[in-house]
Copies of this chain bind each other. A is one copy, B any other.
Amino acid sequence: MKIYLAQQNYHLGNFESNTNKIIAAIHRAKSQGADLVVFSELAICGYPPRDFLYFDHFIEKCNESLDHIRLAVEGVGVLIGAPQRNTNSSGKSLFNAVYFLENQKVQQVVQKTCLPTYDVFDEDRYFEKAKDWNIVSCKGKKIAVTICEDIWNVGSHPLYTVCPMDQMIQQGPDVMINLSASPFDYTHNTDRLAILKTNVEKYQLPIFYCNAVGSQTEIVFDGQSMVMDKEANLCGQLKAFEEDEKLFILNDDGTISGEVITKKEKVASKELTPDKLDASLNIASLYQAIVLGIKDYFSKMGFAKAIIGSSGGIDSAVTLALATEALGSENVVAILMPSAFSSSHSIEDAVLLSKNLQNEYHVLPIKIIYDTFLQELQPLFKQTSFGLAEENIQSRSRGNVLMAIANKFGYILLNTSNKSELATGYGTLYGDMAGGLGVLGDCYKLQVYALANYINRNNEIIPHHIITKPPSAELRPNQKDSDSLPEYDELDQILYQYIELEKGPTEIKNLHFNPVVVDRVLKLVNTNEYKRNQFCPIIRVSPKAFGVGRRMPIVAKYLS
């Protein structure tokens, strides 16, 4: 049996574009002699459609697309993800389903059992879980079809009380096929390989795994669809961070014709999130994920050009380099906005960076704007001394200048805040926290340095001095980040324990961090929830990003 994996990048709710893309892949598969074409989870509408699923009209559009696709299915079977209305008398109104299409007909519908409702996932919000399980018959093969999370319910404390493969194995299937929309994070490819291996070994069946690719606002799907024979050899893997399609032959003896790229013994076991932050872990993938995140945000929103405030610091430098890679140097504009507190080298470094990247750049000092604010506020501020208000005025003046240029010329402002700053509230709302997309918002400062070194791997793009000088917001004379925050080596490790690993204060202190610093850091995180609540979407690259996957009360009094 010839199985064709179609790893595609869908645009949420863009039914016309998605349908055309899907039908084109069916034709390509057929022309290569495929028996079965496999798409990803909820391919029809894109994943995650979120509350659009509440709209009957949206489901109707899904059904219309499915009809178009169904009529294009002749001489080949298709497995494709789409929502299905629940016609039972109780329960949520939809199933997260896979349609098996053949001979222009819906032959069978498989429903998802394990509905992820954690982190960025909300599937229990929309979907009822499957209550019965039937294998799909196609060209004489018996196929156990599962949907994404359905194969993840393993380990000693599974999250769900029912495991669909345990049900289907009783019907004697020949092969497992999983349709996924499984997002990237810097640990996830290892996890995914291990999960497939666990399933193959448990059920003694080969598995075909088709994942989505592409970025949907904050969530990056990395593709890397793959095929494993029943010996758990990895027999083929599709590209990472790109659309890709590939035909595999499943032989009657359960072997798979294809290049065996990884022997069984090389497939790693499931790794938990590492127990401390390794800033350079999978840095090349992390770089690619962010580049794809920027690229898809712009193309799916219909934008072309980005504007970035370039301070001469490392965060804006890395953001500029990533945006240039994603959008092209002709589509990225840097604005340098020195103040009286900017060091001379900041401007020189930022100019050199833009020359290296071949970006358009402009220098617009904010001194006169800042002075004007102070002068106009004088009747109220009177003899009060310089403080946070004055620092923030500078930051917001810059935000205002950037947004004005963005509005005038149709640019999108990219935000340069890193995860360490967002965690501790070390940023100004409507100032340096402004922007449409948070490029580095899921990277701790140490990871930003690792990205900078990765960007410079072949030649110096980010000037050396930007990487080596001590970080500073330059909002008052001789200011350094370390005046207000612990050193990043310590800070980032504490944050990682609290945010990624969800450890409490006692556990973190037991790791031999300074207890006073631990209490202070956790309090900073919890009391700055109100700032992050107004932050733009962040490209998610870690197992726990700020934003939709981390939901905290604002008015709480806990560790604060």
Contacts and interface: CB of A to CB of B under 8 A. Distances in A.
B122 A551 contact: yes
Given A400-B430, A535-B534, A504 B373 contact: no
Interface residues of A, number: 99
Contact of A396 (B296, B297, B403, B429): B403
Contacts of A392: 403-404, 407
Contact of A505 (B57, B117, B436, B503): B57
Contacts of A507: 56-57
A408 B430 contact: no
Interface stretch (A376-384, A473-481, A484-492): A376-384
Contacts of A157: 89-90
A434 interface: yes
Nearest to A412: B530
A555 B297 contact: yes
A556 B90 CA distance: 30
A90 B159 contact: yes
Interface string A396-433: 11011101110110000000000000000000011000
Most buried by B among A49, A91, A553: A553
Number of copies: 2
Nearest to A121: B125
Contacts of A482: none
A73 B157 CA distance: 35
A536 interface: yes
A262 interface: no
A513 interface: no
A206 interface: no
Nearest to A375: B368
A11 interface: yes
A380 B403 contact: no
Interface in A514-560: 530, 533-537, 548, 550-559
Contacts of A503: 57
Given A51-B550, A52-B558, A537-B554, A401 B376 contact: yes
A300 interface: yes
A543 to B, nearest CB: 12
Interface of A: 11-14, 17, 46, 48-52, 54-58, 60-61, 89-92, 115, 117-118, 122, 124-125, 128, 156-161, 215-217, 296-297, 300-301, 362, 364-366, 368-369, 372-373, 375-377, 379-381, 384, 387-389, 392-393, 396-397, 399-401, 403-405, 407-408, 429-430, 434, 436, 502-507, 530, 533-537, 548, 550-559
9 contacts: A51-B552, A60-B504, A92-B159, A117-B122, A365-B376, A369-B376, A430-B434, A436-B530, A537-B554
